[in-house]
Structure 1
Amino acid sequence: MSNSQMSEQSTQLPPDDPSRTATIVHPEDAGLTHLGIGTGTYTILISGEQTGGRYTMIDMLVPAGGPPPHRHDFEEIFHILEGELEIAFRDEVHHVGPGQSINIPANAPHGFRVASAAPARFLCICLPAGQEEFFKLVGEVLPSRTAPPTPPTPEILAERREILMANAARFHSEFLPPRG
């Protein structure tokens, strides 16, 4: 590529935005938001606010279970750090373990459950961001990445489900009936 072609190509990019900074986090850093969602603890490592809405990255520690079948209009990537997940994707089931990643395309029906005896720990990246705000609405604020959620009473479960269902469309999500 000639210098004139490289110069022409670089002028097509917007200028650097110095108001945005590099984000460096450790999952144990003070000030991160830790949320109890179901049986898991979700730590928001990088929020949409920090990425200009481009993506969010959440550290998920889930000892058992998983969400019901659902779909949403954003891409979701899971990178497994520990344990194993069984991921239902459309009509397929995938077992994903440490070191493996899986991308769930936008709008595709899916769900997961922990398939290992030990808790699963994985990174979840959502593109674009926004899912972390949904989790903040339905989650219980916890003191640390490893703190387990309080076992909810039936009343709290009903309240969280009501919040979840009332806000699903706002966050471009749909919950599906369990597969038979």
Structure 2
Amino acid sequence: MPEPTSQYPPVPPDDLQRTLTISQPDKDQTLPHIGLVGDTYTITVSGNDTNGRFCVVDMHIPPGGGPPPHRHDFEETFILLEGEMEATFRGNKSIVRAGDTINIPANAPHRFHNISSRPVRLLCICSPAGQEEFFQQVGIPVATRTTAPPKLDKQQQQEFMEKAKALAPKYRTELLREA
């Protein structure tokens, strides 16, 4: 092991107050499952688990699903586990398939959309954490990782959008118009 120097300070000691996190999104009924924009997001690792460094969200996106265009001041990485989706990054569209990983740099306009006839499952890692709190503030709790959120009528959709727009700046997010 190299000697600590001013150029390379020593690694800090282990923080014994922090614990191992094991998440089982299909079994653990205590995990938050959030219905949002027709999708279901399960928070598997929160910022509370990582000292705010990152969060992990297991996303179930039905055919036609996915959030509208947006951007935010944090990094976002998607690992596609099942299915195929369209990712739009700064206006350019790409097809992403199971096994692919994409990273969205902070502040870049983007969206993802399930254009297939089957559900898509992906892991979303946000760094630093905080996006999971936004999802919990604006979404609707649902029973499981694959439970569809309730359909919103026109009035409920308008109320949802007003709430999302009001909270977005707090979570360093900007909702963009459809192109």
TM-score range (shorter-chain normalised) is over 0.9
- Cα deviation, residue 11, structure 1: 5.3
Mapping 1:126-141, distance limit 5 Å:
126-141=126-141
Task: Give the SS at the match of 1:169.
Answer: helix
State the distance in 2 between where 1:13 and 1:105 align. 28
State the distance in 1 between where 2:100 and 2:116 align. 15
Deviations 1:73-127 (A, max 9, x none): 0000111111111011013211101011100000001011102110111000000
Aligned to 1:157: 157
Whether 2:26 is the aligned partner of 1:36: answer: no
Aligned to 2:84: 84
Whether 2:120 is the aligned partner of 1:120: answer: yes
Deviations 1:5-58 (A, max 9, x none): x13168522211010111111112121000001111100000001100000000
2:84 alignment partner AA: E
State the distance in 2 between where 1:76 and 1:53 align. 14
Aligned to 1:27: 25
State the distance in 2 between where 1:33 and 1:172 align. 22
Structure 2: where are the runs of 5+ without partners? none
RMSD over equivalenced CA pairs, Å: 1.3
- Cα deviation, residue 154, structure 1: 1.5
2:92 alignment partner AA: E
Aligned to 1:59: 58
State the distance in 1 between where 2:160 and 2:3 align. 54
Structure 1: where are the runs of 5+ without partners? none
State the distance in 2 between where 1:87 and 1:146 align. 21
| More deviation, 98-107/25-34 | 25-34
1:130 alignment partner AA: G
State the distance in 1 between where 2:106 and 2:94 align. 17
Aligned to 2:4: 8
- Cα deviation, residue 159, structure 1: 1.3
State the distance in 1 between where 2:111 and 2:156 align. 23
Structure 1 stretches (4+) deviating beyond 4 angstroms?
none
Task: Give the SS at the match of 2:4.
Answer: helix
- Cα deviation, residue 69, structure 1: 1.1
TM-score, normalisation: structure 2 = 0.93
TM-score, normalisation: structure 1 = 0.93
State the distance in 2 between where 1:85 and 1:74 align. 22
